[in-house]
Amino acid sequence: DTIQRKIFEDHYSTLGISAHATQAEIATGFKRALTKLNSKHQADQRNRARLNAAHSVLSDSDAKSAYDKHRKFVNTTTLFLASASVSL
């Protein structure tokens, strides 16, 4: 899970929303995550950058479509690799 997270950042989980979220839910998720980050006084640059990247991609319909295709491919590949474990 940690390796997959380093390879592919899941913008939906970053914002705490489902993959079928509407634009309104994306905006609400972004605001909620940003508020939570600020309220914990952990507004470091890395977390803020992750939130901004997630919102930027998911709020643009063309970028969201491309992201969803890539996300589906990564998830399918990860499942395949996990099921094809090889003993050395």
Does the pTM surpass 0.75? The reply is no
Residue 76 reports pLDDT greater than 50: yes
CA dist., res. 19 & res. 26, Å (int): 10
Give Cβ neighbours of residue 71 (< 8 Å, ≥ 6 apart): 8, 10, 19
Looking at residue 21, what is its pLDDT? 94
What stretches of 1-88 show up as alpha helix (H) in DSSP? 2-7, 11-15, 23-39, 45-59, 61-83
pLDDT digits (tens, 9 = 90+) for 15-53: 999 999 999 999 999 999 888 876 665 557 678 888 889
Query: In the predicted model, what is the mean pLDDT of residues 60-69?
Result: 91
